[in-house]
């Protein structure tokens, strides 16, 4: 299906089934690998990183795609072109259960992408908000696994906040804050005041189709006993200590 082309009735029904499944609690739909996504969805550039696939050599990428293609066909997630002559290019067509997931990615009203870095690993989450109170979540780890689930928009906000701040930080006793002029000054401020940061998460909310276009950013810094954020406040860039509730409120504001 091409972008902008209406979904078939059966495909739309599958999408609604997936979204209804996550309306009250998380519902896992499918887990794919980097190479499976590339093999079946070459026409669409993924908004999430392909951590494992991107560091492979071209020869290893080709081999990984071939193995992934065979696996997708065997599991019934894709059909191969019967006229294909090379295992390297089976000309896959996703079957409707998988196509429904891929189309939910493309048809979202707003995408919230979060990338998290620590000394141990880099990972990401994307939330494809559907504009009706539901969302498709794509959780990606450094090994290249993509777990797709559906959930409510409210749950997505709460889960993203908990993913950034699993310790659920209390209200700071002596909250610190400062305004910074630009990102060059921000680096100096962070280096001087947030040296004990263990995990940094950068969150972006983007919708090119909205009027006006939406593009909002928030950076979250987490240490053992401190939670800080950096974002725009009344068109000024501020860094400040917040509580878990303060972080949740800021994430919610990004998607309004």
In a domain, 2, yes or no: no
130: alpha, beta or left, given left = phi > 0 and alpha = psi -120 to 50?
A: alpha
Alpha carbons 114 and 135: distance in angstroms, whole number:
15
**Residue 213: its pLDDT value, please?**
79
**Residue 216: its pLDDT value, please?**
94
The pLDDT tens digits of the residues spanning 65-79 come to 989 998 999 999 999
**Residue 89: its pLDDT value, please?**
61
Mean pLDDT of 140-151: 97
How many CA atoms are closer than 13 Å to the CA of 236, on its beta-carbon side?
8
**Residue 87: its pLDDT value, please?**
56
Does residue 109 sit in the same domain as residue 206? Answer: no
Does residue 125 sit in the same domain as residue 174? Answer: no
Q: Report whether 111 contacts 47 (CB < 8 A).
A: yes
pLDDT at 26 over 90: yes
Q: Of 157, 189, 218, which residue sits at a domain end?
A: 157
Does residue 66 sit in the same domain as residue 176? Answer: no
pLDDT at 82 over 50: yes
Checking 2-6 for CB contacts under 8 A at 24+ apart, the result is 3/106
Mean pLDDT of 170-188: 94
In a domain, 107, yes or no: yes
pLDDT at 126 over 50: yes
For residue 215, the enclosing domain spans 165-254
**Residue 36: its pLDDT value, please?**
94
Which ranges in 55-179 belong to alpha helices (H)? 58-74, 96-106, 153-164
Does residue 184 sit in the same domain as residue 78? Answer: no
- β-strand partners of 217: 204
Average pLDDT, the chain: 91
Model confidence band, residue 86 (pLDDT cutoffs 50, 70, 90):
low
């Amino acid at each position: 299906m091409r972008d902008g082309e209406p979904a078939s009735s059966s495909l739309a029904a599958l999408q609604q089934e997936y979204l209804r499944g996550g309306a009250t609690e998380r519902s896992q739909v499918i887990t794919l690998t980097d190479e499976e996504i590339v093999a079946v969805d070459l026409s669409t550039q993924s908004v999430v990183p392909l951590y494992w696939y991107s560091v492979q050599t071209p020869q290893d990428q080709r081999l990984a795609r071939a193995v992934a293609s065979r696996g997708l066909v065997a599991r019934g997630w894709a059909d191969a072109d019967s006229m294909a002559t090379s295992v390297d290019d089976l000309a896959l067509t996703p079957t409707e259960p998988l196509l429904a997931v891929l189309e939910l990615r493309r048809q979202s009203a707003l995408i919230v992408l979060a990338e998290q870095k620590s000394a141990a690993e880099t990972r990401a989450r994307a939330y494809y908000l559907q504009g009706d109170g539901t969302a498709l979540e794509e959780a990606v780890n450094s090994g290249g696994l993509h777990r797709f689930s559906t959930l409510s928009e409210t749950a997505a906000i709460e889960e993203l906040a908990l993913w950034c701040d699993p310790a659920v930080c209390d209200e700071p006793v002596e909250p610190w804050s400062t305004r910074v002029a630009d990102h060059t000054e921000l680096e100096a401020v962070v280096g001087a005041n947030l040296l004990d940061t263990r995990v940094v998460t950068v969150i972006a909310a983007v919708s090119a189709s909205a009027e006006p276009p939406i593009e909002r950013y928030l950076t979250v810094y987490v240490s053992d006993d401190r939670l800080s954020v950096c974002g725009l406040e009344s068109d000024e860039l501020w860094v400040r200590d917040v509580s878990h509730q303060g972080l949740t409120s800021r994430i919610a504001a990004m998607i309004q």
